[in-house]
Structure 1
Amino acid sequence: MSRLHVLEYPDSRLRLSSRKVTRFDDDLAELIDNMIETLAATQGIALSAPQIDDRRAVLVVDLSGDGSAPQAYVNPEILSKTAWGLVEESCLSLPGVVGNVLRATEVRVRAQDRKGDVFERELMGMEAVCLQHEMDHLVGKLFVDRLSLFQRLRFRALLGRRARRRAA
């Protein structure tokens, strides 16, 4: 296994859509294992393949805090969403950026595992939010795209300050 490089905004590759996985082979298993290792090394709680410059529709989530409970979702599809709420989000691809996003806090998802077997799960709370956040990555969307106008303006100001510091 190896730790992979996480792309950071404004890298344009983060805006590319993923493609459905059709081959459930050792290469896919290696991708999932590397994503889990990368997630643990970053101390994040979720990661999608587009964030490591892979176009396959794969994401991993681990809310354990110690890397002991990783879950992989291949070709995930949300079947239902309920219990909407405003939640605070951040992202490995946008270090230091935090914002409030409207998300469902209960979802039903259908996906495949690393072997291609289909499963369905009911997710609640942070697990539901993480899944939606990572699924946005699969279609080239970032959580900052879901921020209010005021929050997006603050985000742009933050990027401007960072650019000026790098230029100095």
Structure 2
Amino acid sequence: MKYNIRTSIVIGLVVIAMCSFVTGCANKKDSAAANSNDDLSNKSSQVENQLPSSNDENSSSSSTDFQAPEEGYYSNDYDEILKIQKSDDNTYNIEYSITKLLYVENAIGTYNSETGVLSFSGDDDGGAAFEADVVNKGDHLDVAVTQSSHKDAVGSVQSFYKADDPR
């Protein structure tokens, strides 16, 4: 009976010691993770402090540099086309189509270097007013339809990739 009581006490102490050890390790991990997060936030704020603010004398007036869409022929998987030609007066002549819906030829566009948007307007093949915006995304151009007699087209965005002109 004495052995059973002593054994129970020893087992109880071992269990308590193990629980304390596990809890202590968990607390160390939590505090290590917290310290790691503090280090990351400190580094983040240090990097933010190193970035030029818009009030700095050396910072440029524009925080984002936009690239105008290049002249040329563009297409996509739906055989839709976008052809851009720059005129001498810094306007753009645009040819554009949405497969089985509309075709726009001789639309006139202007590029806004502050927004990075080439906006163009003209009449579609049905004689209705049409407008869209072109944005250079680096490896492709996105065209967002802003006005059309085809209500389903308004708000749609198509991606076009540089291609060889088949004509």
Q: Specify if TM > 0.5.
A: no
Q: TM-score, normalised by structure 1?
A: 0.24
Q: Which has the higher contact order (CA 8 A, sep 6+)?
A: 1
Compare the two structures and name the one with the higher helix fraction: 1
Q: TM-score, normalised by structure 2?
A: 0.24
Compare the two structures and name the one with the higher strand fraction: 2
